Amino acid sequence: MSSKKSGADLKISGLLNINKPQNITSRQVVDQVQKLIKPARVGHAGTLDPLATGVLVLCTGSNTRLIRFVQQQPKEYIGEFLLGKRSDTDDITGEISETADCRQVTLQELETCLPAFEGRIQQIPPQYSAVHINGRRAYDLARRGKSFEIQPREVDVYEIELLDFSFPRFQLRIVCGSGTYIRSIGRDLGEQLGVGATMSALTRTRIGPFTLDSAMELDEELSLGTIAENLQPAILAVEQLPHYHCNERELLSLSQGQKLKCKPEYFPATHEIIEVAVISPQTELVAIANWEPEAHQLSPRQVFHPAPNN
């Protein structure tokens, strides 16, 4: 009988912060981990293009249900761009065209443009992106040479900072919300300066509490054991949600799918139903529940914690 352990044997369920190398897809990272921990499930929370490196959060086991919460957390990037170049992909992996008689942009000009890209802004995603156009991915249509238009959409850029500039190269630190395309920021900045720009490198340095400094390297040392050792708790996926700390009796009720009557002072003042992370006395994520302010109750939507033993 084989003694080889599986993901089920080690109860692989948690969050994995991986430093994605360049020139592989996010899907390939998922496949490498999936091969080791099957039959446990794996999904990633936020695609990085093959050009990009850095923080890629994988959700494993039952925690694949938390992917959307990780995606909602603020992200930090370091992007490098080249002025005087344009690309059909908005980065150097595409077909590059040089700006004729490109003038030399000054540091002051570049810094003057940056405030327009901070806050809630309108942004047009790249033609080569995963945006849906009439049920098809934009990159599929672009690769087929189809003509189409992507409508602008609102995205949140919380911080934008110029880290380095030596014409034609510049480097930005950007903290933003979900759905923001860093390539588009570089492209639009170049157009505002009148010379064009394309992204030459990108590193995601943070998603919420998951930082590049604490990311696991994807190398030959990757194994079922190292994955198990590097799993992070599910509670990190829901830092942005209001937290309700339950007692053992409430834990039992929630684990059985029952609603909880609660005092409203534990929750933000609102007339709207909001999502709440319910935390056990052992500081583990118990459930995602809806706080129903009119009824003064928590209604469990997703339960993660097993019922305690009687």
Catalytic residues, by residue number, are 49
Distance CA 163, CA 262 (A): 48
Identity of residue 115: P
Distance CA 162, CA 283 (A): 39
Element (H, E) at 37: helix 26-37
Distance CA 230, CA 210 (A): 12
Residue (of 234, 226, 214, 284) closest to 254 by Cα position: 284
**What single-letter DSSP state applies at residue 46?**
S
Give me the half-sphere count of Cα atoms (radius 13 Å) on the Cβ side of residue 196. Answer: 17
Tokens standing for 70? Answer: 């990780």
Tokens standing for 190? Answer: 């170049």
Tokens standing for 177? Answer: 């919300």
